[in-house]
Structure 1
Amino acid sequence: MSTKDSIPDHTGDSTAGVPASERPADGLSSESRLANRYGAPKPGLSARTKIVLGSLAAAAAVGAVVFMAIPSGAGTLTSKDVGFTIPDATSAVVDFNVTKPAEATVDCAVQVLSDSYAVVGWKTVRIPPSEDPTVSLSTSVRTDSLGVTGGVNACWIVEQDS
Protein backbone atom coordinates (compact mmCIF):
# COMPACT_ATOMS: atom_id res chain seq x y z
CA MET A 1 0.00 0.00 0.00
CA SER A 2 1.37 3.39 -0.98
CA THR A 3 1.35 6.46 1.19
CA LYS A 4 -0.77 8.40 -1.31
CA ASP A 5 -3.62 5.88 -1.02
CA SER A 6 -3.61 5.99 2.76
CA ILE A 7 -3.60 9.78 3.15
CA PRO A 8 -7.08 11.25 2.72
CA ASP A 9 -7.45 14.45 0.71
CA HIS A 10 -8.94 17.11 2.99
CA THR A 11 -8.40 20.10 0.70
CA GLY A 12 -11.89 19.89 -0.81
CA ASP A 13 -10.30 19.92 -4.26
CA SER A 14 -12.43 18.03 -6.79
CA THR A 15 -9.42 17.57 -9.04
CA ALA A 16 -7.58 15.27 -6.61
CA GLY A 17 -7.62 12.29 -8.97
CA VAL A 18 -6.73 14.36 -12.09
CA PRO A 19 -3.05 14.58 -13.04
CA ALA A 20 -1.51 18.01 -12.41
CA SER A 21 -0.78 18.57 -16.11
CA GLU A 22 -4.52 18.45 -16.93
CA ARG A 23 -5.73 20.62 -14.04
CA PRO A 24 -6.25 24.38 -14.67
CA ALA A 25 -3.75 26.53 -12.78
CA ASP A 26 -6.44 28.63 -11.12
CA GLY A 27 -8.65 25.68 -10.15
CA LEU A 28 -11.71 27.09 -11.98
CA SER A 29 -13.90 25.08 -14.31
CA SER A 30 -14.06 25.99 -17.99
CA GLU A 31 -17.60 27.38 -17.52
CA SER A 32 -16.38 29.66 -14.72
CA ARG A 33 -13.44 30.88 -16.80
CA LEU A 34 -15.71 31.64 -19.79
CA ALA A 35 -18.18 33.49 -17.56
CA ASN A 36 -15.34 35.53 -16.04
CA ARG A 37 -13.98 36.42 -19.45
CA TYR A 38 -17.17 37.06 -21.46
CA GLY A 39 -19.82 37.60 -18.81
CA ALA A 40 -22.63 35.34 -17.68
CA PRO A 41 -24.95 34.07 -20.45
CA LYS A 42 -28.08 36.16 -20.91
CA PRO A 43 -31.37 34.49 -20.21
CA GLY A 44 -33.57 33.68 -23.23
CA LEU A 45 -37.03 35.10 -23.93
CA SER A 46 -39.81 33.90 -21.71
CA ALA A 47 -42.62 31.78 -23.15
CA ARG A 48 -45.05 34.68 -22.73
CA THR A 49 -42.78 37.06 -24.67
CA LYS A 50 -42.41 34.52 -27.48
CA ILE A 51 -46.21 34.13 -27.72
CA VAL A 52 -46.75 37.91 -27.79
CA LEU A 53 -44.09 38.43 -30.49
CA GLY A 54 -45.47 35.54 -32.57
CA SER A 55 -49.00 36.96 -32.31
CA LEU A 56 -47.82 40.42 -33.39
CA ALA A 57 -45.98 38.96 -36.39
CA ALA A 58 -49.07 36.96 -37.42
CA ALA A 59 -51.30 40.03 -37.08
CA ALA A 60 -48.88 42.08 -39.22
CA ALA A 61 -48.86 39.37 -41.91
CA VAL A 62 -52.67 39.24 -41.98
CA GLY A 63 -52.81 43.04 -42.18
CA ALA A 64 -50.40 43.07 -45.13
CA VAL A 65 -52.45 40.45 -46.99
CA VAL A 66 -55.68 42.41 -46.40
CA PHE A 67 -54.02 45.66 -47.53
CA MET A 68 -52.83 44.07 -50.78
CA ALA A 69 -56.18 42.40 -51.45
CA ILE A 70 -58.23 45.60 -51.29
CA PRO A 71 -58.35 47.27 -54.72
CA SER A 72 -57.15 50.85 -54.87
CA GLY A 73 -59.60 53.65 -55.51
CA ALA A 74 -57.52 55.00 -58.41
CA GLY A 75 -58.65 52.25 -60.75
CA THR A 76 -56.57 49.81 -62.68
CA LEU A 77 -54.42 50.40 -65.72
CA THR A 78 -53.66 47.42 -67.94
CA SER A 79 -52.57 46.91 -71.52
CA LYS A 80 -52.91 43.89 -73.78
CA ASP A 81 -51.10 43.29 -77.05
CA VAL A 82 -53.56 42.27 -79.78
CA GLY A 83 -51.28 41.92 -82.79
CA PHE A 84 -48.66 43.45 -85.05
CA THR A 85 -47.68 43.59 -88.70
CA ILE A 86 -44.27 44.26 -90.20
CA PRO A 87 -44.84 45.72 -93.69
CA ASP A 88 -41.14 46.48 -94.32
CA ALA A 89 -37.77 47.12 -92.64
CA THR A 90 -38.64 50.75 -91.79
CA SER A 91 -42.04 50.40 -90.08
CA ALA A 92 -44.34 48.24 -88.01
CA VAL A 93 -47.99 48.49 -86.99
CA VAL A 94 -48.90 47.51 -83.43
CA ASP A 95 -52.49 46.81 -82.29
CA PHE A 96 -53.27 46.88 -78.55
CA ASN A 97 -56.00 47.45 -75.97
CA VAL A 98 -55.73 49.63 -72.87
CA THR A 99 -58.09 49.45 -69.89
CA LYS A 100 -57.93 52.59 -67.77
CA PRO A 101 -60.09 54.84 -65.62
CA ALA A 102 -62.48 56.55 -68.08
CA GLU A 103 -61.54 60.09 -66.97
CA ALA A 104 -57.75 59.50 -67.07
CA THR A 105 -55.27 60.50 -69.74
CA VAL A 106 -52.74 57.73 -70.33
CA ASP A 107 -49.43 57.48 -72.17
CA CYS A 108 -48.24 54.11 -73.49
CA ALA A 109 -44.77 53.25 -74.74
CA VAL A 110 -45.01 51.00 -77.82
CA GLN A 111 -41.88 49.18 -78.97
CA VAL A 112 -40.74 47.02 -81.89
CA LEU A 113 -38.02 44.42 -81.32
CA SER A 114 -35.56 42.70 -83.68
CA ASP A 115 -34.80 38.98 -83.73
CA SER A 116 -32.02 39.60 -81.15
CA TYR A 117 -34.54 41.38 -78.84
CA ALA A 118 -32.99 44.79 -79.51
CA VAL A 119 -35.38 47.74 -79.62
CA VAL A 120 -35.50 48.94 -83.24
CA GLY A 121 -38.55 51.20 -82.89
CA TRP A 122 -40.19 53.15 -80.05
CA LYS A 123 -43.16 55.48 -79.84
CA THR A 124 -45.19 57.05 -77.03
CA VAL A 125 -48.95 57.10 -77.66
CA ARG A 126 -51.27 59.44 -75.70
CA ILE A 127 -54.79 58.15 -74.95
CA PRO A 128 -57.25 60.88 -73.91
CA PRO A 129 -60.19 60.42 -71.51
CA SER A 130 -63.04 58.40 -73.00
CA GLU A 131 -66.48 57.10 -72.05
CA ASP A 132 -65.42 53.48 -72.37
CA PRO A 133 -62.64 52.34 -69.98
CA THR A 134 -61.23 49.91 -72.60
CA VAL A 135 -59.76 51.53 -75.70
CA SER A 136 -58.52 49.67 -78.81
CA LEU A 137 -55.68 51.31 -80.72
CA SER A 138 -53.49 50.70 -83.73
CA THR A 139 -50.31 52.73 -84.18
CA SER A 140 -47.55 52.82 -86.77
CA VAL A 141 -43.97 52.80 -85.44
CA ARG A 142 -40.90 53.76 -87.51
CA THR A 143 -38.02 51.29 -87.18
CA ASP A 144 -34.24 51.43 -87.72
CA SER A 145 -34.09 47.88 -89.07
CA LEU A 146 -36.37 44.91 -89.63
CA GLY A 147 -38.51 44.17 -86.59
CA VAL A 148 -39.95 40.76 -85.75
CA THR A 149 -42.40 41.65 -82.96
CA GLY A 150 -44.15 44.66 -81.51
CA GLY A 151 -46.15 45.47 -78.39
CA VAL A 152 -46.74 47.76 -75.43
CA ASN A 153 -43.78 48.13 -73.09
CA ALA A 154 -45.56 50.14 -70.34
CA CYS A 155 -48.49 52.51 -69.71
CA TRP A 156 -48.87 55.22 -67.10
CA ILE A 157 -51.44 57.83 -66.08
CA VAL A 158 -50.49 61.38 -67.10
CA GLU A 159 -50.94 64.03 -64.42
CA GLN A 160 -52.93 66.93 -65.86
CA ASP A 161 -51.99 70.51 -64.95
CA SER A 162 -54.96 72.39 -63.53
Structure 2
Amino acid sequence: MTTQDMLDERYGRTRSPRRLWTIGIVAAIGATLVGLFAWMTVASTIDDVRADTTGFTVVDSHAVEIAFQITAPEGRSIACALEAQDEEHGVVGWKIVEYPASELRSRAFHETIPTTAPSTTGLVNSCWVT
Protein backbone atom coordinates (compact mmCIF):
# COMPACT_ATOMS: atom_id res chain seq x y z
CA MET A 1 0.00 0.00 0.00
CA THR A 2 1.37 3.41 -0.98
CA THR A 3 1.57 6.40 1.29
CA GLN A 4 -1.17 8.13 -0.72
CA ASP A 5 -3.47 5.10 -0.31
CA MET A 6 -2.81 5.04 3.44
CA LEU A 7 -3.59 8.76 3.76
CA ASP A 8 -6.76 8.39 1.66
CA GLU A 9 -7.93 5.47 3.83
CA ARG A 10 -7.08 7.27 7.06
CA TYR A 11 -8.96 10.49 6.15
CA GLY A 12 -11.80 8.90 4.20
CA ARG A 13 -10.87 10.20 0.78
CA THR A 14 -11.71 8.06 -2.19
CA ARG A 15 -11.60 8.62 -5.91
CA SER A 16 -15.14 8.57 -7.10
CA PRO A 17 -16.34 7.76 -10.62
CA ARG A 18 -18.31 11.03 -10.50
CA ARG A 19 -15.07 13.02 -10.48
CA LEU A 20 -13.79 11.16 -13.53
CA TRP A 21 -17.03 11.97 -15.37
CA THR A 22 -16.67 15.61 -14.47
CA ILE A 23 -13.10 15.71 -15.79
CA GLY A 24 -14.23 13.98 -19.00
CA ILE A 25 -17.09 16.41 -19.55
CA VAL A 26 -14.86 19.44 -18.95
CA ALA A 27 -12.28 18.05 -21.39
CA ALA A 28 -14.96 17.42 -24.04
CA ILE A 29 -16.36 20.95 -23.66
CA GLY A 30 -12.85 22.40 -23.90
CA ALA A 31 -12.08 20.43 -27.06
CA THR A 32 -15.40 21.53 -28.59
CA LEU A 33 -14.68 25.19 -27.84
CA VAL A 34 -11.18 24.96 -29.34
CA GLY A 35 -12.62 23.34 -32.48
CA LEU A 36 -15.36 25.95 -32.75
CA PHE A 37 -12.86 28.80 -32.38
CA ALA A 38 -10.61 27.26 -35.06
CA TRP A 39 -13.55 26.90 -37.46
CA MET A 40 -14.71 30.49 -36.88
CA THR A 41 -11.18 31.76 -37.56
CA VAL A 42 -10.92 29.85 -40.84
CA ALA A 43 -14.49 30.68 -41.94
CA SER A 44 -13.97 34.41 -41.38
CA THR A 45 -10.92 34.52 -43.65
CA ILE A 46 -12.40 32.52 -46.55
CA ASP A 47 -14.07 35.61 -48.07
CA ASP A 48 -11.39 38.07 -46.97
CA VAL A 49 -10.71 40.88 -49.48
CA ARG A 50 -7.69 43.15 -49.16
CA ALA A 51 -7.41 46.43 -51.06
CA ASP A 52 -4.34 48.65 -51.26
CA THR A 53 -4.40 52.12 -52.79
CA THR A 54 -1.27 52.38 -54.93
CA GLY A 55 -1.72 55.95 -56.11
CA PHE A 56 -4.06 58.77 -57.05
CA THR A 57 -4.10 61.69 -59.45
CA VAL A 58 -6.26 64.78 -59.05
CA VAL A 59 -7.57 65.20 -62.61
CA ASP A 60 -9.30 68.55 -62.00
CA SER A 61 -11.67 70.14 -59.49
CA HIS A 62 -14.38 67.64 -60.48
CA ALA A 63 -12.54 64.30 -60.61
CA VAL A 64 -9.79 62.21 -59.06
CA GLU A 65 -8.31 58.99 -60.47
CA ILE A 66 -7.39 56.16 -58.09
CA ALA A 67 -5.02 53.27 -58.75
CA PHE A 68 -5.42 50.28 -56.46
CA GLN A 69 -4.78 46.57 -56.13
CA ILE A 70 -7.23 43.99 -54.80
CA THR A 71 -6.41 40.58 -53.37
CA ALA A 72 -9.58 38.47 -53.21
CA PRO A 73 -10.72 34.84 -53.33
CA GLU A 74 -10.48 33.27 -56.79
CA GLY A 75 -13.75 32.81 -58.65
CA ARG A 76 -15.71 35.34 -56.56
CA SER A 77 -17.10 38.67 -57.74
CA ILE A 78 -16.24 41.69 -55.59
CA ALA A 79 -17.36 45.25 -54.99
CA CYS A 80 -15.41 48.22 -53.65
CA ALA A 81 -16.33 51.59 -52.17
CA LEU A 82 -14.00 54.32 -53.43
CA GLU A 83 -13.87 57.86 -52.07
CA ALA A 84 -12.29 61.22 -52.69
CA GLN A 85 -11.50 63.57 -49.81
CA ASP A 86 -10.72 67.27 -49.48
CA GLU A 87 -8.05 68.97 -47.34
CA GLU A 88 -10.08 68.50 -44.15
CA HIS A 89 -10.72 64.79 -44.88
CA GLY A 90 -14.31 65.49 -45.82
CA VAL A 91 -15.75 63.14 -48.45
CA VAL A 92 -16.29 65.05 -51.70
CA GLY A 93 -16.78 62.03 -53.97
CA TRP A 94 -17.98 58.46 -53.57
CA LYS A 95 -18.33 55.55 -55.97
CA ILE A 96 -19.22 51.85 -55.67
CA VAL A 97 -17.63 49.66 -58.34
CA GLU A 98 -18.26 45.97 -59.01
CA TYR A 99 -15.86 43.53 -60.64
CA PRO A 100 -16.72 40.11 -62.06
CA ALA A 101 -15.19 36.89 -60.76
CA SER A 102 -11.68 36.08 -61.92
CA GLU A 103 -9.25 33.20 -61.59
CA LEU A 104 -6.56 35.69 -60.56
CA ARG A 105 -6.12 36.24 -56.83
CA SER A 106 -4.60 39.75 -57.20
CA ARG A 107 -5.69 42.36 -59.73
CA ALA A 108 -4.93 46.04 -60.34
CA PHE A 109 -7.49 48.68 -61.32
CA HIS A 110 -7.80 52.39 -62.17
CA GLU A 111 -11.08 54.23 -61.51
CA THR A 112 -12.14 57.86 -61.84
CA ILE A 113 -14.34 59.31 -59.10
CA PRO A 114 -16.45 62.40 -59.84
CA THR A 115 -16.23 64.99 -57.06
CA THR A 116 -18.46 67.82 -55.87
CA ALA A 117 -15.50 70.01 -54.80
CA PRO A 118 -11.74 69.98 -55.31
CA SER A 119 -10.19 66.88 -53.77
CA THR A 120 -6.72 66.32 -52.34
CA THR A 121 -6.73 62.52 -52.17
CA GLY A 122 -8.48 59.39 -53.34
CA LEU A 123 -8.60 56.02 -51.61
CA VAL A 124 -10.32 52.66 -51.36
CA ASN A 125 -12.66 52.75 -48.38
CA SER A 126 -13.47 49.01 -48.35
CA CYS A 127 -14.02 45.96 -50.56
CA TRP A 128 -16.18 42.85 -50.09
CA VAL A 129 -17.26 39.66 -51.82
CA THR A 130 -20.65 39.96 -53.56
TM-score bracket relative to the smaller structure? 0.5 to 0.7
Structure 2 counterpart of 1:126, from 95, 98, 120? 98
| Contact 2:47–2:129 (CA under 8 A) maintained in structure 1 | no
Cα RMSD (Å): 2.6
**Higher relative contact order by CA 8 Å / sep ≥ 6: 1 or 2?**
2
Greater Cα radius of gyration, structure 1 or 2: 1
Residue 75 of structure 1 deviates from its aligned partner by 3.7
- Name the structure with the higher strand share: 2
Quote the residue 2:12 is aligned against.
Answer: none
CA distance in 2, matches of 1:85, 1:73: 32
Q: Percent identity?
A: 29
Deviations 1:41-60 (A, max 9, x none): xxxxxxx9xxx8xx78xx48
User: 5+ residue gaps in structure 2?
Assistant: 1-18
Q: TM-score, normalised by structure 1?
A: 0.55
Quote the residue 1:82 is aligned against.
Answer: 54
| Contact 2:48–2:128 (CA under 8 A) maintained in structure 1 | no
Residue 66 of structure 1 deviates from its aligned partner by 3.6
Q: TM-score, normalised by structure 2?
A: 0.67
- Determine helix, strand or coil for the equivalent of 1:110: strand
Residue 85 of structure 1 deviates from its aligned partner by 0.6
User: 5+ residue gaps in structure 1?
Assistant: 1-47
Residue 137 of structure 1 deviates from its aligned partner by 0.3
Structure 2 counterpart of 1:142, from 104, 110, 114? 114
Letter matched to residue 137 of structure 1: F
Structure 1 counterpart of 2:83, from 86, 92, 111? 111
CA distance in 1, matches of 2:33, 2:103: 39
Residue 135 of structure 1 deviates from its aligned partner by 1.1
> How many residues of Structure 1 are paired with residues of Structure 2 in the alignment?
106
CA distance in 2, matches of 1:104, 1:67: 21
